[in-house]
Amino acid sequence: MPDVSGLLPAVTIAIPLLAAVLILITGRHENLRETATIVAALAMLGSVASMLPSILDGGRVTLVLLPMVPGGDLALRVDAFGMVFALTAAALWLLNSFYAIGYMRALQEHAQTRFFFCLAVAIAAAIGIAFSANLLTLFVFYEILTVITYPLVVHIETPEAMKAGRKYLAYLLVGGIFLLAATVLTYILTGTTDFVPGGFLAGSGAALTLQILFGLFLVGFVKAAWMPLHAWLPAAMIAPTPVSAFLHAVAVVTAGVFGIVRVAGWVFGMPLMASLGLGVVLAVIASLTIVTASLFALAEDNLKRRLAYSTVSQLSYILLGVSMLSVAGMTGAMAHIPFHAFMKITLFFVAGAVIVSAGRERISDMKGLGHKMPVTTLMFAAAAIGICGLPPLCGIISKIYLAIGAVEGGMPILLLVLIASAVLNAAYFFPIIYTMLVDRPADPHALDAVSEPPLTMLVPIVLTAVISMLLFFFPSVPFMDLVRIAIGEITTGVVP
């Protein structure tokens, strides 16, 4: 099916922006304000889903918004890979909205209008990244995402939060500069920045130039939190939990890895990356990050921070998949984006539920919580098992592809990384489950007041966990199908 022109991509981005305006206007009337968020989330999910059939038929929806500057118009194009990200973000934004409303109200947080306003603009930016037709458009939305998430990160406004916010901004703005430099360099080399399946850089410059260019891109996508440029992510854990969930699953880090996969598949192309030896570089970075971050996670007692390091580690699975430069590896990388998002958001939801219900953030304080919050704990256990790569959750699917990719790409040593990581994952997750279910608190009455979180929070927790499980049984609907189309696009005629 050919490209069709349509307004839907722009409408999808406009919906949350419109909601953001409504949130500001209705700020004083909480229920009205929250209605705007929920209606927008539903409408956006509907709008994304309505494009799904034509994408699954192999079509693409394109729309040029504005002529901008040399190097690219402000243009949108919805393809299968963009759809993977957009669908994940839209679905999780809906659940996260319910959860955030419950969380913010339960804790009587201040500045909730600002909070929901920023979230709405941020999701618009995330969808913009997913639908970007060229590097320049992607950069524009990428920077907007950086700036608009800052007030979310520093939400509690303590000196500690401001410090974390500065770190967050410093890392991401510096990254943005590198991304801009990479974009401009790409334009200088080729005269275009439009994404082309299979890449368009081949033969446009000396090997060294292209290697440097890839380095610029890699630093540019610092949102992928690869080591040693990961420090902003654990620091950002100071944010309210729905924001952490948003950063880790819905938009921010996802945007980083999305960008790297986009650049690998649609700017460089796998054959060029292989001939430049970039796979090896990426594999080393990814492997070190996976193992080191897991070790860091082991040492963390704060649940949210442990989850943050877990994210750092898991994101590098995606980089690892790209580094293999093989069909299976790329498939695993792409599939891991939605799969990890659904599982990780469950874990963050639970961490937030524990804060709301029991006011605890340290794992060592969570002894016996499982008896007071059985459903929550069960969902946590399920998602944790999924992250470790065990059935019956979707995590195993992407990991199997990664394992195949390691062999296929001629780097069987990466299997060792995968195995080591699985062991480490189990090592930092199972003690949590054990603490919550088996351990008993020192004071038997300490947990008397603790109960399950409000339904607005509990339902999203159950839903994300159940979806993670359903994705194990029906991975094709629709993510694996989309991934297959995307892989088909970037490998047509070229088998690396």
Partner 1 sequence: MTLIDHLPVLLVAGPIVASLLTLVAGWHDRRLCYPIALAAVLGEFAAALVIFRQVMGGGTVRYDVGGWAPPMGIELVIDTFGGFILATIMLLALMTTLYAFRSVTKEIPTEKTVSFYVIFQVLLAGLIGMTITGDVFNLYVFLEISSIAAYTLISATRKPHAYVASYNYLVLGSIAAGFILLGIGNLYVATGTLNMAELAAMLPGSYDLATVHAAFLFLIIGFSIKAAFFPLHLWLPDAYTESPSAVTVLIATVMAKVSVYALFRFLFSVFTLAYITEIYPVTGVVLLIATIAIVAGAILAIAQDDLKRLLAYSSVSQIGYIMFAVGVANQIALEGGLLHILGHAVMKGCLFMVAGLIIYQTGTARLSELGGIARKMPLSCAAFALAGASMIGIPPTIGFMSKYYLVLGAFEAGLWPYAAVLLVGSLLAAAYIWRFIEIAYFGGHHDEHHRTEIREGPASMLAPALGLSLLCLLLGIFVAVPLEAIGLAVAQLLGGA
Residues that bind partner 1 in the complex, under the rule CB under 8 A: 66-71, 74, 139-140, 143-144, 147, 151, 154, 157, 161-162, 165-166, 169, 173-174, 177, 180-181, 184-185, 187-188
Separation between Cα atoms, residue 307 and residue 127, nearest integer Å: 25
- Which secondary-structure segment (H or E) carries 255? helix 252-263
Nearer to partner 1, 161 or 335 (CB): 161
Closest to 119 measured CA to CA, from 221, 241, 260: 241
Nearest approach, Cβ of residue 193 and partner 1 (Å): 11
Nearest approach, Cβ of residue 140 and partner 1 (Å): 4
Residue 412 dihedral angles phi and psi, to the nearest 5°: -60, -20
Nearest approach, Cβ of residue 144 and partner 1 (Å): 7
464 Cβ partners below 8 Å, 6+ apart?
92, 95, 342, 343, 345, 346, 349, 379, 383
- Which secondary-structure segment (H or E) carries 3? strand 3-5
Nearer to partner 1, 128 or 409 (CB): 128
**C-alpha to C-alpha distances, 120 to 169, 258, 388, nearest whole angstrom:** 19, 20, 32
Q: In the numeric block, which tokens belong to residue 247? A: 């950063």
Closest to 404 measured CA to CA, from 331, 459, 328: 328
Q: In the numeric block, which tokens belong to residue 262? A: 């986009």
Nearest approach, Cβ of residue 428 and partner 1 (Å): 33
234, amino acid identity: P
Nearest approach, Cβ of residue 229 and partner 1 (Å): 15
Nearest approach, Cβ of residue 154 and partner 1 (Å): 6
Nearer to partner 1, 24 or 420 (CB): 24
> Do the beta carbons of residue 412 and residue 406 sit within 8 Å?
yes
Nearer to partner 1, 173 or 356 (CB): 173
Nearer to partner 1, 151 or 198 (CB): 151
Residue 66 bridge partners (DSSP): 74
Nearest approach, Cβ of residue 152 and partner 1 (Å): 12
Nearest approach, Cβ of residue 125 and partner 1 (Å): 11
Separation between Cα atoms, residue 69 and residue 83, nearest integer Å: 26
Nearest approach, Cβ of residue 184 and partner 1 (Å): 5
Separation between Cα atoms, residue 114 and residue 243, nearest integer Å: 13
Nearer to partner 1, 207 or 477 (CB): 207
Nearer to partner 1, 174 or 450 (CB): 174
Nearer to partner 1, 132 or 326 (CB): 132
Closest to 220 measured CA to CA, from 324, 146, 330: 146
394 Cβ partners below 8 Å, 6+ apart?
339, 342, 343, 386, 468, 469, 471, 472, 475
**Residue 391 gets which letter from DSSP?**
T
**C-alpha to C-alpha distances, 266 to 185, 193, 242, nearest whole angstrom:** 16, 10, 32
Nearest approach, Cβ of residue 267 and partner 1 (Å): 17
Nearer to partner 1, 75 or 436 (CB): 75
14, amino acid identity: A
Separation between Cα atoms, residue 402 and residue 332, nearest integer Å: 5
Nearest approach, Cβ of residue 67 and partner 1 (Å): 5
Nearest approach, Cβ of residue 70 and partner 1 (Å): 7
Separation between Cα atoms, residue 201 and residue 189, nearest integer Å: 8
> Do the beta carbons of residue 81 and residue 72 sit within 8 Å?
no
Separation between Cα atoms, residue 467 and residue 393, nearest integer Å: 9
Nearest approach, Cβ of residue 178 and partner 1 (Å): 8
Separation between Cα atoms, residue 58 and residue 261, nearest integer Å: 19
Q: In the numeric block, which tokens belong to residue 357? A: 């219900």
Nearer to partner 1, 115 or 317 (CB): 115
Nearer to partner 1, 165 or 386 (CB): 165
Nearer to partner 1, 144 or 450 (CB): 144
Nearer to partner 1, 72 or 453 (CB): 72
